[in-house]
């Protein structure tokens, strides 16, 4: 699914595989393999491809049906996993509109990204289980179960799990740009 979507978006923009790869800072072979569903790109590679296409990350998984009411079943959520950083995201909103809601799961010692990054949104995170450090512009904000943190996502940020247990959290971002 994601390979087909990337190919469609690349073609709509009149880009070759090599041009998209250069803009994203990834190998042409990776783009080619992803488009043919021969490889699963990392979360970091997906972020770079989305940025090169000037789109939010989860728009790469966007559903074409613009229904006014959407029910997203737990077993059919779009999921993105980064094994190297210990983070998994599942989209609980339909992937269109002005609001994006994600469920995050972060392993002990894990982080949402190797380095802080930014995107044009506002974001609110709510900790469901465990502990979470929200690093924004170099400042750490420690959250416990039930705590939330709101911030301007254009500031460099990332999430860290300093605990010895997994952390579960919900992120709401508007407009969608994750």
Together in a domain, 122 and 149 = yes
The answer to whether 156 and 137 have CB atoms below 8 angstroms apart is yes
Instruction: Read off the pLDDT of residues 22-62 as tens digits, 9 standing for 90 and up.
Output: 999 999 999 999 999 888 888 888 989 999 998 888 778 77
Task: Read off the tokens for 106.
Answer: 């972060």
Sign, CA torsion 13/14/20/22: negative
Whether 45 contacts 26, CB under 8 Å: yes
Is residue 120 within 8 Å of 100, Cβ to Cβ? no
Q: Residue 21's domain spans which residues?
A: 2-55
Query: Which CATH number characterizes residue 123's domain?
Result: 2.60.120.10
Same domain flag for 8 and 46: yes
> Do 166 and 89 share a structural domain?
yes
Q: Give the tokens for residue 53.
A: 């296409």
Q: How many domains does the chain have?
A: 2
Claim to verify: residue 48 and residue 83 sit in the same structural domain: no
Mean pLDDT of 98-122: 91
Helix (H, G, I), strand (E, B), or coil: what is residue 38?
A: coil
Residues 11 and 87 in one domain: no
Residue 69 located in a structural domain: no
19/102 same-domain check:
no
Show Cβ contacts of residue 62 under 8 Å, excluding neighbours closer than 6 positions. 5, 95, 96
Alpha-carbon gap, residue 138 to 147, rounded angstroms:
20
At residue 151 the predicted structure's pLDDT band, cuts being 50, 70 and 90, is very high
Q: What is the CATH number of the domain that holds 22?
A: 1.10.260.40
Are 113 and 170 members of one domain?
Answer: yes
Task: Evaluate whether residue 115 is within a structural domain.
Answer: yes
Judgement on whether residues 100 and 47 belong to the same structural domain of the protein: no
- List CB contacts of 99: < 8 A, sequence separation 6 or more: 93, 172, 173, 174, 175, 176
User: Is 40 part of any domain?
Assistant: yes
Residue 90 and residue 47 share a domain: no
**Is pLDDT of 65 > 60?**
no
Digit-coded pLDDT (tens) for 111-140: 998 889 898 899 999 999 999 999 999 999
């Amino acid at each position: 699914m994601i390979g087909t979507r990337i190919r469609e978006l690349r073609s709509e923009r009149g880009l070759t595989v090599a041009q998209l790869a250069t803009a994203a800072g990834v190998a042409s072979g990776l783009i080619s393999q992803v488009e043919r569903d021969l490889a699963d790109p990392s979360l970091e590679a997906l972020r770079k491809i989305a940025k090169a296409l000037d789109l939010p990350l989860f728009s790469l998984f966007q559903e074409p049906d613009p229904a006014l009411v959407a029910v997203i079943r737990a077993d059919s959520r779009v999921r993105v996993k980064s094994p190297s950083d210990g983070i998994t995201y599942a989209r609980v909103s339909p992937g269109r509109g002005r609001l994006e809601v994600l469920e995050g799961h972060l392993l002990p010692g894990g982080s949402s990204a190797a380095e802080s990054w930014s995107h044009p949104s506002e974001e609110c995170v709510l900790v469901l289980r465990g502990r979470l450090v929200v690093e924004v512009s170099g400042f750490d904000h420690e959250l416990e179960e039930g705590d939330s943190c709101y911030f301007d996502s254009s500031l460099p940020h990332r999430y860290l799990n300093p605990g010895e247990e997994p952390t579960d959290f919900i992120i709401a971002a508007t407009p969608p740009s994750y």
